[in-house]
Amino acid sequence: MKVLIQRSTKSSVTVNNQVVGSIGEGLTLFVGFAKNDTLQILEKMKEKIINMRIFSNDRGKFDYSLLDITGELLLIPQFTLFADTSHGRRPEFFKAMSPDEATKMFDTFYEMCKEDIRINNVQKGIFGADMKVNVYNDGPVSIMVEIGDAS
């Protein structure tokens, strides 16, 4: 599993000119799944992300987590995180989970986050849709997190 985390002051995702998810201060997560990802990996990733200290204190040092600031989450499905560009000019996606399986994993990851009472607000994009994502990246801070056989 790979997740590109972007610390944001606000973010939204639009499908067919309609906003389907939006958050205030928090994290925008671009989420991709590898063929062998499991439910245990989802839980481990959720805990890692919400406890990662990437929000600044008054001295500008990363000191606070999403939970510390009562932040929000926007989840965006992003299979292209598994692009292999080592050969030719067209990316290949052999390591990415199949769309049917990845849709289920994404929905499960969303539900895990949504059901976690420690997280203030959880929103999401639509798997397989043509999404327009607006991220007001704060910092900018962007961090790639990989768990499992993601490489």
* pLDDT at position 64: 98
- Spatial CB neighbours of 97, under 8 Å, sequence gap ≥ 6: 33, 34, 35, 37, 79, 105
* pLDDT at position 149: 72
* pLDDT at position 150: 56
* 39 within domain boundaries: yes
Out of 30, 79, 106, 127, the active site residue is: 79
* 151 within domain boundaries: no
* 49 within domain boundaries: yes
* 76 within domain boundaries: yes
Give phi and psi for 31, each to the nearest 5. Answer: -115, 125
Domain that holds residue 107: 2-145
* 88 within domain boundaries: yes
> What's the total number of domains in the chain?
1
Nearest-angstrom CA–CA distance, 99 and 79: 9
Decide if 62 is catalytic. Answer: no
Decide if 6 is catalytic. Answer: no
pLDDT, averaged per 10 consecutive residues of the chain (151 residues), comes to 98 98 98 96 97 96 97 97 93 94 98 96 97 97 89 51
Decide if 70 is catalytic. Answer: no
Out of 9, 40, 80, 108, the active site residue is: 80
